[in-house]
Amino acid sequence: AVDTGFIWALIAGFLGLTVYTGLLSTICFTFGGLILAVSVIEAAYTMAYRDELTGLPARRSLNEFFLK
């Protein structure tokens, strides 16, 4: 997720530097930063709630399920 987010943020940065000027350039850089933030949050969620080996829900998600 982080690698894909980095590529999309790189594309947004490239567009902000070469294609657009002014406000559109700022918007491109903002979207690039948001893309990176969302991809890091998604990766952190996956590490916390999914087992890397099996892909099954981890202990933390089991605890949340039983608290409901």
Measured between alpha carbons, how far is 67 from 20 in angstroms, rounded to an integer?
50
Per-residue b or e along 14-49, where b marks 16 or more CB atoms closer than 10 Å to that residue's CB: ebbeeeeeeeebeebbebbeebbeebeeeeeeeeee
Quote the mean pLDDT of the chain: 89
> Would you state the pLDDT for residue 53?
82
Q: Does 28 score more than 90 pLDDT?
A: yes
Q: Does 1 score more than 80 pLDDT?
A: no
**Mean pLDDT, range 25-37, rounded to an integer:** 95
Contact 10, 16 (CB under 8 A): no
Does the pTM surpass 0.85? The reply is no
> Would you state the pLDDT for residue 64?
81
> Would you state the pLDDT for residue 48?
84
Of 47, 43, 44, nearest to 55 (Cα)? 47
